Amino acid sequence: MSKFKKKKSGGTPGISTASLPDIVFMLLFFFMTATTMKDSDLKIENTLPKANQTAKLHKKQYVMYIYAGKPSERYRASLGASDRIQLSDKISTVNDIRNFVISERASRNSEDEKYLTASLKIDKNVKMGLVQDIKQELRKVDQLKVNYTTSQGSVVE
Amino acid sequence: MAKREAPEVNAGSMADIAFLLLIFFLVTTTIGVDQGINRLLPRYEENPPPPPINERNILRVLVNKDNQLLVNEQVMELKDLRVAAIEFLENNGTGQCAYCQGKGNPKSSDSPDDAVISLMNDGQTTYETYIAVQNELVAAYYFLRDRECKKRYGVTFREMEYVYNDPASKAREGLIDDLKPKVEKIQQLFPMRLSEAEPKKNF
């Protein structure tokens, strides 16, 4: 009888992969909770102004986004340097807001419609003339709930 | 001497480590939530009729193209606007508002119900200034509402309103019905009469 086991033939034993699902699920859960989807690629500068009297926006399904600002460096040659509006992913004019709001409304079910808020993400250097035009358009289509989306901070320096 | 067999790695605790990490990330990550100032725009009318309001019940806030403030014909710094607005809103000139703590100046507003803040911008005012002014005026209203709400119901108006407006609150039986009269009561005590005039166009 031999005191030593005979060495098995073949290379190193395989590492157990039993915990691989755990790791994968962990990563999955992490990314599921931590990510916020960026749904449109901004062609304009968008530094939000600061405010501290803010309320949180409710779930994304109740929000539509309207962006405004100067075209960013890359697009300045084609779009010019004056303030522009961006709806979802294309540069638009004030007149497009009406159709945008109507199509946003149509894409939600009627139950959610009354909660639908227009989030105005407007660059802090935009002139009020344009903002007023946007608001006027929103009023004309009866989209009265708006949220001036801001970053958190004190307004009094 | 013969080579020893490589021992198998014990993977039993791997799941524990994985869960530990998972919990760590769950606790530490904050999901970015958009925040902003909620406002309700007035309904569009072709020719809005001028409201019959006494001059003393209006606080006129003008912002010019250089982002300077003029409040009731006087130049004002932004940091003083909030206090001025609070003083104006709860001035209680007629002495009929029991919950106001104002000075009762006869040249200022009669009651919070009559008081109107009229905001007028220039077309060249920057959005940043506009938001700053809005922020201060909203702060003035919420200061008064929070104070009153805290006194009556023990919570700030801001918290109560958020729950009330949250679509998720529909799921809880009776919650909305419970909050509705309270929210409306406070809103009625300090109605937000913040009117915005059309800016003069000069692009």
In chain A, which residues have their Cβ closer than 8 Å to the Cβ of B78?
Answer: 155-156
Q: Which burial class, exposed, middle or buried, applies to B48 when counting CB atoms under 10 A from its CB (0-12, 13-18, 19+)?
A: exposed
Binary contact (B167, A34; C-beta < 8 A): no
Q: In chain A, which stretches have pLDDT less than 70? A: 1-3, 5-10, 31-32, 34-40, 156-157
Its ipTM equals 0.72
- 3-class secondary structure, B176: helix
Q: Which burial class, exposed, middle or buried, applies to B135 when counting CB atoms under 10 A from its CB (0-12, 13-18, 19+)?
A: buried
Q: Give the pLDDT score at B12.
A: 65
| Mean local confidence (pLDDT), B118-132 | 86
Q: Give the pLDDT score at B128.
A: 87
The model's confidence at residue B4, banded by pLDDT at 50, 70 and 90, is confident
Pair of tokens at residue A136: 């006027």
Check: CB of residue B18 under 8 Å from CB of residue A19.
Answer: yes
| Mean local confidence (pLDDT), B151-173 | 81
Name all domains of chain A by residue range, CATH numbers in brackets: 50-152 (3.30.420.270)
Q: Does A125 touch chain B (CB under 8 A)?
A: yes
| Mean local confidence (pLDDT), B106-129 | 83
The model's confidence at residue B201, banded by pLDDT at 50, 70 and 90, is low
Q: How many CA atoms lie within 13 A of A90 on its CB side?
A: 6
In chain B, which residues have their Cβ closer than 8 Å to the Cβ of A137?
Answer: none
Q: Does A36 touch chain B (CB under 8 A)?
A: yes
**pTM for this structure?**
0.74
| Mean local confidence (pLDDT), B150-159 | 86
| Mean local confidence (pLDDT), B98-111 | 78
Beta bridge partners of B200: B122
Check: CB of residue A55 under 8 Å from CB of residue B158.
Answer: yes
Helices (H), chain A: 20-34, 76-79, 96-106, 110-113, 128-140
The larger pLDDT score, comparing residue B128 to residue B49, is at B128
Q: How far apart are CA A117 and CA A144, in angstroms?
A: 8
Q: Does A30 touch chain B (CB under 8 A)?
A: yes
> Considering chain B, what is the average pLDDT of its residues?
79
Q: How far apart are CA B200 and CA B202, in angstroms?
A: 6
Most confident of A31-40, A65-74, B3-12, B190-199: A65-74
Q: Does B197 touch chain A (CB under 8 A)?
A: no
Binary contact (B135, A127; C-beta < 8 A): no
- Tell me the one-letter amino acid at B67: N
Q: Give the pLDDT score at A34.
A: 67
Q: How far apart are CA A127 and CA A109, in angstroms?
A: 35
Q: How far apart are CA B93 and CA A48, in angstroms?
A: 39
Q: Give the pLDDT score at B66.
A: 85
Binary contact (B135, A57; C-beta < 8 A): no
B152: enclosing H helix or E strand: helix B127-153
Q: Give the pLDDT score at B203.
A: 45
Q: Give the pLDDT score at B14.
A: 66
Question: What pLDDT digit, counting tens, does each position of B52-90 carry?
Answer: 677 788 888 888 888 888 888 888 888 888 888 888 888
